[in-house]
A and B are shown apart, each in its own frame.
Chain A
């Protein structure tokens, strides 16, 4: 089925001509009254206007967050969990409209937002509601008269800067643990995707106490910086690219606050000979596993953008994969049959295109794709790129640089040792995939690959409860796991003496 475009008659999503910042439970216009137009990449036409805030709006948001921080922080975990569960229920109840809004703004296919992004976002709040309820702290008997009591206390107000590729899910990954741990948040959405999170705020805004969630849209250099350098935040969390990640860490140093960073990747997806041992469900799954580089049009930090295929199965396996890729349906992201939507922006499209040119120049062979995609009718102006496969070697730029598009770099390996060497020959260490019927090999490879998330016989699964984060320059800290509650808390130690006698020092 095809969903009507947001704002059009019959659409499940209403669109105002202009949206405001969400601060203190209210919709507030930006202080300087500046707005900019937000486009849909499906047609390159406007969706609505959003605020082009200034640092003053960050201060207003921090005022609201701080006004709410004490009460929210002192609320029992049981009550906080109830609130977060209500947030999850509201997201579930509005799954379709949130999915359509996010799909239209980002370009990702609605089948993905309906099946993955939105349900995962709701589940994230449930997971952290449960984790917060179940969390306990330790008591240590130092000696017969001295007890150390430990308490996890909220940090207070945190700043969170999220990327464009999963606007709602990344918001959930940041908000759920922060709020569960008793903090209030000021979020700065990414410039290409400022609106779908505002639709989320329409759905959950009344459920959260005012000031617990604040959303300020504006240019990164101004708003992101005003937030990250602000002495009134106790932590900054960032998902994005490396240079900005370094800058955020630097800003955090100025105020001595903790940082979690989720940065880029060039994740290897490794296919051993035994995947072709039988023409069965598992082989079919492995083929899909390779084609997952096209998931979210390749705009994923963990995109399995390098496929390493055992030499002896290469010809047959790649033939099967290319056939699967040829069946990728590309076009209107609001059509539930569409598998690949447009890239998020004109500049991302230009970047993908130039990388494929670089690949050609350095001798990579284009096995399929390699051009901007021709899409018919009203979508002909959108930012579409063909699913592309380049064959080459791991030293090529297209094997080392993060393209962030539907471009797969393919190479072969002779044996396990070579597969491992190629897999680890990258600056990054975010994700990896290992496909084999041999469990011991899977385990050996998984432990030897220098990445924070190794998928074994699967890929692109992001359940809460599985820790996610990077090795090497791919970042620090782990998300989607209850350990995040600690990242968003500080430990108070009460060291209590029950001894009536002085120490005898003075």
Chain B
């Protein structure tokens, strides 16, 4: 596993890191990248351990000390870009935690 390279595969904006820090006061979180559909390809944010990660999931790296996963086959289909985690106005998708009141996490790639 090429840890230095994979650590750079996901980075976060200051706004995203601030949101993560606030969320982490109540406990660590984890990110799982969604594949599109009605979830808008949003990075889903859960409490650490909420989502059972499996052998097919790739740990892209850590943001604000929290792990960021993506399905390995999905990441290949995405052509392995660097992901930039950010926050934007809007509701959290699916069962994701909101980034803050009226804000949700997004990725740019």
* B4-12, B13-21, B36-44, B60-68 - the one binding chain A: B36-44
- Given A250-B51, A427-B35: A240 touches B73 (CB 8 Å cut-off): no
Question: Is residue A374 within 8 Å, beta carbon to beta carbon, of the partner chain?
Answer: no
Known pairs A250-B52, A346-B90; A244 contacts B34 (CB<8 A): yes
CB pair A397–B33 under 8 Å, yes or no, is: no
Contact of A400 with B by CB under 8 A: yes
Chain B residue numbers with a CB within 8 Å of A219 are 91-92, 98
Proximity bits, A233-267, B CB within 8 Å = 1, else 0: 00000001111101100100000000000011100
Q: How far is the CA of A397 from the CA of B42 in the complex (A)?
A: 16
The CB with the most chain B CB atoms within 10 A, among A191, A243, A397, A402, is that of A243
**Taking the nearest CB of chain B, how far is it from the CB of A331, in angstroms?**
23
Residue of A nearest to B92 (CB): A221
Q: Please measure, in the bound complex, the distance between the C-alpha atom of A400 and the C-alpha atom of B41, giving whole angstroms.
A: 12
Contact residues in B for A350 (Cβ distance below 8 Å):
88, 106
Question: Of the candidates A191, A241, A299, A427, which one forms a contact with B73 in the assembled complex, judged by CB atoms under 8 Å apart?
Answer: A427
B35 contacts across to A, CB distance below 8 A = 241-243, 264, 401-402, 427, 473
Tell me if B38 and A243 are in contact (CB < 8 A): no
- B74 adjacent to chain A (CB < 8 Å): yes
Q: Which of A240, A346, A347, A354 contacts B37 (CB 8 A)?
A: A240
B81 to chain A, nearest CB (A): 8
Complex Cα–Cα for A351 and B88 (A): 12
Q: Is the CB of B38 within 8 A of A400?
A: no
- Asked if residues B36 and A404 are in contact (CB atoms below 8 Å), the reply is yes
- Known contacts A243-B34, A243-B35, A402-B36, A397 near B41 by CB under 8 Å: no
Are the CB atoms of B51 and A403 closer together than 8 Å?
no
Assembly CA distance A192 to B91 (angstroms):
9
A221 — which chain B residues lie within 8 A by C-beta?
A: 92, 94-98
> A400, B77: Cβ atoms under 8 Å?
yes
Residues of A within 8 A of B39 (CB): 240-244
Residues of A387-419 at the interface with B, using a CB-CB cut-off of 8 Å, are 395, 397, 400-404
Q: Contact: B40 with A404, CB < 8 Å?
A: yes
Instruction: Give B74-85 as 1s and 0s: 1 = Cβ < 8 Å from A's Cβ atoms.
Output: 100111000000
Q: State A355–B73 Cα separation when bound (angstroms).
A: 19
The answer to whether the Cβ of A345 comes within 8 Å of any Cβ in the partner chain is: yes
A397, B40: Cβ atoms closer than 8 Å: no
Proximity bits, A421-436, B CB within 8 Å = 1, else 0: 0000001000000000
Indicate whether B109 reaches chain A with its CB closer than 8 angstroms.
yes
Name the distance in Å between B42's Cβ and chain A's nearest Cβ. Answer: 8
CB B8 to nearest CB in A, in angstroms, measures 19
User: Which residue of B34, B79, B95, B109 has the most chain A CB atoms within 10 A of its CB atom?
Assistant: B95
Distance in angstroms between the alpha carbons of A246 and B94 in the assembled complex: 11
Residues of A contacting B34 in the complex (Cβ-Cβ under 8 angstroms): 241-244
A182 within 8 A of B: no
* CB of B32 closer than 8 Å to a CB of A: yes
Check if A6 is an interface residue, CB within 8 A of chain B: no
Contact-size category for B = 35 or more
Q: Is B22 an interface residue (CB 8 A)?
A: no
A243 touches B51 (CB 8 A): yes
C-alpha gap A51/B40 in the complex (Å): 23
Q: Tell me if B37 and A400 are in contact (CB < 8 A).
A: no
Compute how far the CA of A265 lies from the CA of B38 in the bound complex, rounded to whole angstroms. Answer: 11
Contacts of A209 in B (CB 8 A): none
Given A224-B95, A250-B51, A400-B78, A347:B38 Cβ within 8 A: no
Chain A 362-373, CB within 8 Å of chain B: the 1/0 string? 100000000000
**Interface pair B88/A347, CB less than 8 Å apart:** yes
Tell which of B89, B95, B98 touches A225, judged by Cβ atoms closer than 8 Å. B95
Kindly list chain B residues whose C-beta atoms are within 8 Å of the C-beta of A301: 37-38
Residues of B whose CB lies within 8 Å of any CB of A are 32-42, 44, 46, 50-52, 71, 73-74, 77-79, 88-98, 104, 106, 108-109
Knowing that A220-B95, A243-B35, A346-B90 touch, tell me 8 more A-B residue pairs with CB under 8 angstroms: A220-B92, A221-B95, A241-B34, A242-B71, A243-B34, A400-B77, A400-B78, A404-B37
29 contacting pairs across A/B (C-beta < 8 A): A164-B38, A165-B38, A219-B91, A221-B92, A221-B95, A221-B96, A240-B94, A241-B36, A242-B35, A243-B51, A244-B44, A264-B35, A265-B37, A299-B38, A301-B38, A346-B89, A346-B90, A347-B40, A347-B91, A347-B93, A350-B88, A351-B40, A355-B41, A397-B77, A401-B36, A402-B41, A404-B36, A404-B37, A404-B40
Which A-B residue pairs are the 7 nearest by beta carbons? Answer: A402-B36, A241-B39, A264-B37, A244-B94, A241-B37, A400-B77, A347-B90
